[in-house]
């Protein structure tokens, strides 16, 4: 039974009378001048004034934008009338300086009312009828739902043990007291659950960066970009995917100050258009080739910072190989082709990456001589088959050009914010997980299929091997089970098997593709309907309050409330809540922030009274990562085995998997690429870029966003022409894993040979299994990267042809 539609109220515009009464009747001059013509109608006929609507009581609350995994943490002004949000504005604090800029919301925050009052919001708990995955549900009461959940939890714990539970990676809600950590806290009290490490966003770059720098904190505070003379935005698109509120604004300011900005990306992104002096298209998955060639040029032309390399790095050449690996291949060996016979010349790279050799040479020279320069590594280039290599290669370029530890430089890599790793300071206590075993976040389907056989070779940590398959999944704010995981058709088959996962509990705002597989589906309220607290998104220095603004409708509840009620059924309510409501936990979290990072932070009562919404620390002297190390590498060694920047990593060398995990950064041809035999059948590279119509898969179905950014396959006329595809045609995109049918948009803003299908669209299979909405994960693969065990979700080859419209 379909849940009843949420009643839609038509908002009518209330026109104020004030503006009208101030208009005076002017008689225009009779002249033939344009002014005269215009003045001729300055008179307004009061008979047609709008009917005045008596303004009712309206209050304004400053609140953090509901924190999805959007790349920003912004401040909203939420206007409420009669218990309903009627308008949303954004941060308008005076000042808007570089040190403390306004936190302006993007199009998605501005459209939020349409999500908040979307007719499809889940309203009541439901239980599955029919087979899992059919998406047929029956409404039940909360009591029945919670009883069933508690019973299943107890049963599975008794039969399989706690390692059979899994609270998957999910970032649909992503602040202190809402999201998966509320469930994890309960699980930990209940005996634990199988844990995970890394993420779908940053698996490769998180694993690879410490292999070079011994840490993930390789980024300066962003105001430092204004000290840079050169900014190389490599696969980085902050204007579109938002990488910390205001990042694109800081790059704009740096450019205003004189920095040269270059974008390297298969697409001419929103960032390339608005921030860059030059766009260099590059074949997806070949970034490490261009980086290697750039390093080659720097070696050949003696442009690299030999003094810095000598004092701060290991493995650059044979003079500085670590002990136990003296004879191994150094980076210089690799670049010059000393061992493999292939010098990584610009000519070699041009054939691989599609960038003209002269351009590679020029960019190498520009970046090496800029002094200082920023090479910012974005995340699309690492969410691929050998993403770790591109990350390491970029970090090495930053190192050999001496751009580490100096203002205006940037060490590259994951670049969490100096000095302490930056925002996402999780203060809400999940406690200790009695289950020590962890799997890579992307390998949960393996743990469902063959968990008992998983061990170190599958990335298991904390235990030699797993004891059980996953039998129970509790998905909170998570569409990463079905919609956002690689190879949707495969995942659907795995989850549909009720012998494997015996109980699937999903809580969400909408009936997402993941929710369709639920055994019990619980309706969660939105962030405006409960308390929350957030800080920055990766960068920033602020705390943002998310007060409860309106009441939760129907029977929706917050993630925290749901977990506490399940806790009650399990006899753990006191331990779980510690007597605190959502609001109490926010007050508690503010105390923690005050103790650790923001000593001047007001209390919750003070923040509510002032309605400030945000507490921010102006950044006047941006922190620079590795400043100490650069000054004195002996006194401040890195946390690497050698204490220095590891261009050659003995750790990786000792893994003895040189073909996929080389000790020095190498270009490795992807397992699905334009160069392999698969290209005969599937000649186009497909990438699933982040798109402003959604935050991943959140905000799907918001009409204001769909009209601004409709779901389309972006294809170059060079590829569309021979396929007789015209702009707006419906096309079929497919490979061995599945097929989607979607409308296309012809654009010159993408490299020939590459197509882009914005990620996050909800998988919508018709009765023949053909996805009609354009979910890129129908096409992506479940195969993971060798070092990080991460998702290689942009490594996709496809074919495209014109299709019949639906």
Partner 1 sequence: MVTQYGFFFNAATCSGCKACQVACKDRNDLEPGVLWRRVYEVAGGGWEKKGEVWVPSVVAYNISMACNHCEKPVCGLACPVKAISKREDGIVFVDTGACIGCRYCEWACPYTALRFDARTNTVSKCNFCYDAIDAGGTPSCVASCPQRALDFGDMAELRKKYGDVRRIFPLPDPAQTEPALIIKPHRDAARAEERAAEVANWEEV
Partner 2 sequence: MLKEWPLVAFTILGQTAVGLFTFSATIFCLLPLTPDDPMREWLWTWQPVVLGLLIVAALLSFFHLRHPFRARRVLANFRTSRLSREIFFMLAFMFLVAGEMLLVAMNATVGVLRSVQVAGCLAGGLFLYSMIGLYMLVTLPFWSQAGTPISFIGSSLALGAVALTVFGGRFIWIPAAVLFVFLDLVGSVLFTPGYGLLSRRPAASLRPTAIAPSFFHLLGLGLESVGLFLLIIIALSVSREWEGPVPLMAICVALILAGQVIRRFLFYGLIQRPGDWTIQS
Please, which of residues 26-65 interact with partner 2 by CB under 8 A?
A: 37, 40-41
Among 29, 44, 151, 675, binds partner 1 (CB under 8 A): 44
For residues 726 to 755, the per-residue mask of contacts with partner 1, x marking binding by CB under 8 A and - elsewhere, is --x----------------x-xxx-xxx--
Q: Is 96 in the site for partner 2 (CB under 8 A)?
A: no
Q: How far apart are CA 227 and CA 415, in angstroms?
A: 17
CB 510 within 8 A of CB 6: no
Which positions from 4 through 33 interact with partner 1, judged by CB under 8 A? Answer: 10-13, 16, 18-19, 22-24, 26
Q: How far apart are CA 774 and CA 477, in angstroms?
A: 22
Among 707, 767, 768, 805, binds partner 2 (CB under 8 A): 707
- Residue 110, contacted partner among partner 2, partner 1, none, CB below 5-8 A by kind: partner 1
Name the one range near partner 1 by CB under 8 A: 45-53, 158-166, 364-372, 563-571: 45-53
Q: How far apart are CA 784 and CA 799, in angstroms?
A: 22
Distances (CA, A) of 94 to 99, 100, 101, 132: 13, 10, 9, 53
689: Cα within 13 Å, side-chain hemisphere: 28
Among 2, 48, 635, 724, binds partner 1 (CB under 8 A): 48
CB 793 within 8 A of CB 499: no
Find the shortest distance in angstroms from Cβ 802 to partner 1: 18
CB 438 within 8 A of CB 197: yes
Among 710, 770, 772, 799, binds partner 2 (CB under 8 A): 710
Name the one range near partner 2 by CB under 8 A: 442-450, 452-460, 529-537, 701-709: 701-709
Find the shortest distance in angstroms from Cβ 15 to partner 2: 17
- Residue 87, contacted partner among partner 2, partner 1, none, CB below 5-8 A by kind: partner 1
- Residue 279, contacted partner among partner 1, partner 2, none, CB below 5-8 A by kind: partner 1
In 10 A of CB 278, how many CB atoms?
14
Report the residue number, 372 or 758, with the smaller CB distance to partner 1. Answer: 758
Among 7, 32, 34, 579, binds partner 1 (CB under 8 A): 34
- Residue 574, contacted partner among partner 1, partner 2, none, CB below 5-8 A by kind: none
In 10 A of CB 300, how many CB atoms?
16
CB 507 within 8 A of CB 122: no
Report the residue number, 235 or 693, with the smaller CB distance to partner 2. Answer: 693
Find the shortest distance in angstroms from Cβ 43 to partner 1: 7
- Residue 337, contacted partner among partner 1, partner 2, none, CB below 5-8 A by kind: none
Q: Is 724 in the site for partner 2 (CB under 8 A)?
A: no
Q: How far apart are CA 644 and CA 635, in angstroms?
A: 11
Q: SS3 sequence, 90-115?
A: ECCCCCCCCCCCCCCCCHHHHCHHHH
Q: Is 249 in the site for partner 1 (CB under 8 A)?
A: yes
Tokens read off for 714: 């972006």
In 10 A of CB 744, how many CB atoms?
25
Q: How far apart are CA 140 and CA 322, in angstroms?
A: 64
Total of residues contacting partner 1 (CB under 8 A): 78
Tokens read off for 762: 């909800």
Burial 393-430 (b: 16+ CB within 10 A, else e): bbbbbbbbbbbbbbebbbbbbbbbbbeeebbebebbeb
Report the residue number, 21 or 708, with the smaller CB distance to partner 2. Answer: 708
Name the one range near partner 1 by CB under 8 A: 138-146, 275-283, 320-328, 542-550: 275-283
Among 716, 781, 785, 793, binds partner 1 (CB under 8 A): 716
Task: Establish whether the linkage from the previous residue to 91 is cis, with ω within 30° of 0.
Answer: no
Among 120, 706, 723, 747, binds partner 2 (CB under 8 A): 706
Report the residue number, 34 or 319, with the smaller CB distance to partner 2. Answer: 34
Find the shortest distance in angstroms from Cβ 59 to partner 1: 17
Report the residue number, 37 or 342, with the smaller CB distance to partner 2. Answer: 37
Find the shortest distance in angstroms from Cβ 34 to partner 2: 11
Find the shortest distance in angstroms from Cβ 482 to partner 2: 25
Name the one range near partner 1 by CB under 8 A: 312-320, 417-425, 714-722, 755-763: 714-722
Name the one range near partner 1 by CB under 8 A: 132-140, 268-276, 576-584, 596-604: 268-276
Report the residue number, 252 or 489, with the smaller CB distance to partner 1. Answer: 252
Find the shortest distance in angstroms from Cβ 9 to partner 2: 18
Across the strands, what pairs with 328? none
Among 239, 254, 476, 590, binds partner 1 (CB under 8 A): 239
CB 146 within 8 A of CB 565: yes
Name the one range near partner 1 by CB under 8 A: 103-111, 178-186, 570-578, 780-788: 103-111
CB 69 within 8 A of CB 201: yes
727: Cα within 13 Å, side-chain hemisphere: 6
Q: How far apart are CA 606 and CA 601, in angstroms?
A: 10
Which positions from 106 through 165 interact with partner 1, judged by CB under 8 A? Answer: 106-107, 110-111, 113
351: Cα within 13 Å, side-chain hemisphere: 6
Report the residue number, 746 or 778, with the smaller CB distance to partner 1. Answer: 746
Report the residue number, 26 or 342, with the smaller CB distance to partner 2. Answer: 26
Find the shortest distance in angstroms from Cβ 705 to partner 2: 9
- Residue 530, contacted partner among partner 2, partner 1, none, CB below 5-8 A by kind: none
Tokens read off for 542: 């602020």
Which positions from 336 through 375 interact with partner 1, judged by CB under 8 A? Answer: 350-351, 354-356
Name the one range near partner 1 by CB under 8 A: 34-42, 547-555, 593-601, 636-644: 34-42
> In angstroms, how far is the first alpha carbon of the chain from the final one?
26
Residues, the chain: 806
Report the residue number, 50 or 595, with the smaller CB distance to partner 1. Answer: 50
Report the residue number, 37 or 718, with the smaller CB distance to partner 2. Answer: 37
Tell me if residue 738 falls in helix, strand or coil.
Answer: strand
Q: How far apart are CA 46 and CA 258, in angstroms?
A: 54
Report the residue number, 212 or 744, with the smaller CB distance to partner 1. Answer: 744
CB 650 within 8 A of CB 322: yes
Report the residue number, 551 or 703, with the smaller CB distance to partner 1. Answer: 703
Instruction: Name the helix (H) or strand (E) containing 375.
Output: strand 373-377
Find the shortest distance in angstroms from Cβ 273 to partner 1: 5
CB 162 within 8 A of CB 193: yes
Q: Is 703 in the site for partner 2 (CB under 8 A)?
A: yes
Which positions from 73 through 102 interact with partner 1, judged by CB under 8 A? Answer: 87-90, 92, 96
CB 593 within 8 A of CB 425: yes
Find the shortest distance in angstroms from Cβ 45 to partner 2: 8
Report the residue number, 22 or 724, with the smaller CB distance to partner 1. Answer: 22
Tokens read off for 449: 């299929």
Dihedral of CA 146/147/152/155: which sign?
positive
Task: Establish whether the linkage from the previous residue to 372 is cis, with ω within 30° of 0.
Answer: yes
Listing DSSP states for 672-687 in one string gives SSTTSGGGGT--EEEE
Listing DSSP states for 512-571 in one string gives -TTGGG-SEEEEB--GGGS-EEE--BSB--EEEEE---SPPPTT-B-HHHHHHHHHHHTT
Find the shortest distance in angstroms from Cβ 10 to partner 1: 8
Find the shortest distance in angstroms from Cβ 550 to partner 2: 25
Residues in contact with partner 2 by CB under 8 A are 37, 40-41, 703, 706-707, 710
């Amino acid at each position: 039974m379909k849940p009843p539609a949420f009643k839609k109220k038509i908002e009518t515009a209330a026109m104020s009378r004030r503006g009208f009464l101030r208009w005076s009747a002017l008689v225009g001059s009779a002249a033939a001048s344009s002014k005269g013509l215009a003045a001729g109608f300055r008179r307004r006929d009061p008979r047609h004034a709008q009917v005045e609507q008596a303004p009712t009581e309206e209050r304004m609350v400053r609140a953090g934008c509901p924190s999805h995994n959007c790349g920003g943490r912004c401040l909203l002004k939420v206007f409420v009338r009669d218990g309903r949000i009627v308008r949303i504005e954004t941060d308008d604090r005076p000042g808007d300086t570089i040190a403390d800029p306004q936190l302006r919301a993007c199009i998605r925050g501005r459209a939020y009312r349409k999500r908040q009052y979307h007719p499809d919001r889940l309203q009541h708990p439901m239980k599955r009828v029919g087979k899992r995955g059919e998406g047929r549900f029956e409404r039940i009461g909360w009591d029945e739902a919670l009883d069933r959940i508690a019973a299943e939890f107890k049963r599975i714990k008794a039969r399989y043990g706690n390692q059979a539970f899994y609270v998957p990676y999910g970032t649909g809600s992503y602040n202190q007291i809402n999201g998966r950590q509320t469930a994890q806290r309960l699980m930990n009290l209940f005996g634990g659950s199988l844990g995970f490490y890394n993420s779908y966003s940053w698996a490769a770059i998180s694993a690879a960066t410490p292999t070079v720098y011994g840490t993930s904190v390789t980024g300066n505070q962003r105001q430092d970009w204004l000290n840079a003379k050169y900014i190389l935005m490599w696969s980085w698109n902050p204007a579109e995917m938002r990488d910390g509120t205001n990042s694109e604004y800081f790059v704009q300011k740096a450019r205003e100050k004189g920095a040269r900005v270059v974008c390297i990306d298969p697409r001419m992104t929103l960032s390339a258009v608005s921030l860059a002096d030059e766009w260099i298209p590059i074949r997806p998955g070949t970034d490490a080739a261009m980086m290697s060639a750039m390093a080659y040029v720097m070696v050949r032309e003696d442009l690299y910072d030999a003094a810095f390399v000598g004092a701060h790095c290991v493995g650059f050449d044979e003079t500085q190989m670590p002990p136990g690996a003296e004879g191994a291949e150094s980076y210089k060996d690799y670049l010059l082709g000393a061992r493999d016979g292939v010098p990584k010349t610009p000519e070699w790279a041009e054939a691989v990456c599609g960038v003209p050799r002269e351009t590679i040479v020029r960019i190498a020279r520009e970046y090496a001589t800029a002094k200082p320069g920023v090479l910012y590594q974005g995340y699309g280039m690492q969410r691929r088959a050998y993403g770790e290599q591109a990350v390491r290669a970029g970090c090495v370029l930053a190192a050999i050009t001496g751009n580490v530890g100096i203002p205006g430089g940037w060490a590259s890599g994951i670049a969490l914010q100096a000095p302490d790793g930056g925002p996402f300071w999780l203060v809400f206590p999940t406690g200790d997980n009695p289950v020590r075993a962890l799997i890579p976040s992307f390998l949960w389907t393996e743990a469902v299929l063959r968990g008992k056989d998983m061990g170190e070779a599958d990335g298991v940590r904390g235990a030699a091997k797993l004891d059980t398959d996953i039998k129970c999944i509790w998905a909170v704010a998570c569409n990463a089970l079905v919609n956002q995981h690689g190879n949707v058709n495969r995942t659907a088959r795995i989850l549909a098997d009720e012998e494997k996962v015996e109980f699937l509990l999903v809580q969400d705002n909408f009936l997402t593709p993941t929710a369709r597989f639920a055994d019990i589906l619980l309706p969660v309220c939105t962030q405006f309907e409960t308390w929350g607290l957030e800080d920055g998104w990766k960068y920033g220095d602020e705390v943002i309050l998310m007060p409860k603004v309106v009441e939760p409708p129907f029977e929706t509840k917050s993630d925290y409330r749901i977990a506490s009620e399940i806790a009650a059924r399990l006899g753990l309510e006191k331990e779980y809540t510690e007597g605190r409501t959502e609001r109490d936990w926010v007050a508690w979290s503010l105390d923690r922030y005050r103790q650790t990072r923001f000593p001047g932070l007001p209390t919750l009562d003070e923040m509510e009274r002032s309605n400030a919404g945000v507490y921010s620390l102006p950044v006047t002297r941006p922190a620079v990562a590795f400043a100490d190390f650069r000054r004195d590498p002996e006194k401040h060694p890195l946390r690497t085995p050698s204490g220095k920047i590891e261009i050659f990593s003995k750790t990786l060398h000792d893994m003895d998997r040189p073909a996929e995990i080389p000790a020095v950064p190498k270009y490795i041809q992807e397992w699905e690429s334009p160069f392999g035999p698969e290209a005969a059948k599937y000649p186009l590279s497909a990438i699933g870029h982040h798109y402003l119509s959604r935050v991943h898969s959140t905000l799907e179905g918001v009409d204001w966003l769909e009209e601004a950014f409709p779901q389309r396959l972006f294809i170059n006329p060079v590829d569309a022409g021979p396929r007789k595809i015209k702009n707006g045609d419906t096309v079929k995109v497919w490979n061995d894993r599945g097929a989607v049918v979607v409308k296309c948009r012809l654009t010159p803003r993408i490299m020939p040979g590459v197509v882009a299908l914005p990620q996050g669209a909800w998988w919508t299979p018709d009765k023949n299994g053909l996805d009609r909405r354009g979910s890129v994960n129908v096409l992506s693969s479940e195969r993971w990267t060798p070092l990080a065990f991460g998702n290689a979700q942009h490594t996709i080859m496809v074919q495209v042809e014109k299709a019949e419209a639906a």
